[in-house]
Copies of this chain bind each other. A is one copy, B any other.
């Protein structure tokens, strides 16, 4: 890389562009690196067996002595989930608001990293300096309390990152997106804005979180039996509104699901959730309570198979089961890819005789602003340059069009992919190459040991299973001592396919004997002969292509 002038600023993302998830943005000078957010994301359908995906941080690890700090804008996992993995490789203080740090602490504790981390609490009015960067924050409304945006003073000018935001005009906690401060930042002049693109395709203004409270309250007023409510565990305002509704209707609440219990505990302890202790009951008590005095708050709004709600629906939960007469409120929309599992869960609940209230019934509101709100942000800040972030490419593009309508020249809007760098020199921006970026797959304790070959094998195995062919040859590889034995898994019901497997066995035996009689001795050739013959035979008979694993032993 060419030597840069001290004044030059580089901005790029290691995650969060072209995708919804694993947000990670970087502001870099020659001497210093500042990281904004460190999220994970759930694996795509083709990442079989993978637990979560984090950004490729090899660029940061290479330059780890430059990293001055990590600022997290709020406590959602797509903004904090990768911290544990990053802090194992990079030493840097982590800055966040009280609730955010509370959730980060818990996250790190689960990974055994709590004591090592240097966590620093800030609030909406904090002014801090990280490395050479003076930094201000501004409060924003989002689907988790205590969310902030960031304003960074760089040698080239102000760089503003909104975090995830909406302009909720009736926030549950009375804390509005700080328009006053945004106006002042805008007046100082913003060099570059990075803004949340999630809902850039949706016209109008997002409904207030408070509106979902009315929807939920109505359900509580009308339900004759028990009520089960599921929502994102981190949506503390939604949970507050469920608690309020339960209080009004003299219902007790049982909390079911690990992440829900944890968030409620943390947010109560830190003062973000307000309720008397005695509103909660143990889930085991519910079955013996008056249904009209009972509510359950549980995980499972995405139809996850192992979640509390799915287990309660399938009868596999150890304490509770959904029954005829229950009202189930799904106070969330399915995220992309979860539509079908949510739809199946809803259908299943209906079949049990439950009443199901879901997304369209005014019990969910997005935490991300719609077009009018994104325009408002652009109009308040009037940036010289604009980088739409936090979205799939078409959302970034739609956001770019909004920026144009707000007066940002299309030449000054950068639709970036992960790793693509925008460089600011003399207050002018240009594209400037790419740093390494991509997906790192986490499977169990392994970080990065699952890649394309392993995934390809898992895909093959998942489609048609595997046949293992074992044969023992004598020392000189002139004859078969034992076998061939063929064992299959995930291919066919063995009982119904005895004939097929016997034929396959004969094919393999004949092939091997012929090769050995022709003096073929290389095991690799023998194996590939077996693979070819068996593969062709099975495809012809079944039109399937199982993985074939020949194993030769020698005695």
Contact = CB atoms under 8 A, between A and B. Distances in A.
B457 A490 contact: yes
7 tightest Cβ-Cβ pairs between the two chains A and B: A444-B543, A462-B462, A457-B490, A461-B461, A49-B463, A337-B340, A458-B490
Contacts of A341: 45
Contacts of A485: 551, 553
A48 B462 contact: yes
Contact of A554 (B417, B449, B482): B482
Given A18-B347, A339-B340, A468-B468, 10 more contacts: A45-B341, A49-B544, A346-B394, A347-B393, A458-B465, A461-B465, A466-B466, A466-B489, A485-B553, A489-B549
Nearest to A451: B493
Interface in A376-424: 392-394, 397, 417
A310 to B, nearest CB: 13
Contacts of A175: none
B554 A490 contact: no
Contact of A463 (B347, B458, B542): B458
Contacts of A271: none
A555 B461 contact: no
Contacts of A462: 48-49, 458-459, 461-462
A462 B466 CA distance: 11
B464 A544 contact: no
A204 interface: no
A61 interface: no
A356 interface: yes
Contacts of A449: 492-493, 496-497
The complex is assembled from copies of this chain, and their number is: 2
Mostly, the A contact residues are mixed
A510 interface: no
Contacts of A551: 468, 470, 485, 487, 551
Interface in A442-493: 443-446, 449-451, 453-455, 457-466, 468, 470, 472, 481-483, 485, 487, 489-493
Contacts of A346: 394
Contacts of A482: 472, 553-555
Interface band, chain A: 35 or more
A396 B462 CA distance: 34
25 contacts: A18-B347, A18-B351, A48-B490, A49-B463, A336-B339, A336-B343, A339-B339, A347-B392, A444-B464, A446-B492, A449-B493, A449-B496, A451-B493, A454-B465, A454-B490, A454-B493, A455-B490, A457-B465, A458-B461, A461-B461, A462-B462, A468-B468, A468-B551, A470-B470, A485-B553
A18, A337, A465, A487, most chain B CB atoms within 10 A: A465
Interface string A123-147: 0000000000000000000000000
Interface string A24-54: 0000000000000000000001001100000
A393 B356 CA distance: 12
A496 B447 CA distance: 11
A547 interface: yes
Contacts of A351: 18, 393, 417
Given A470-B551, A553-B485, A445 B542 contact: yes
Nearest to A335: B340
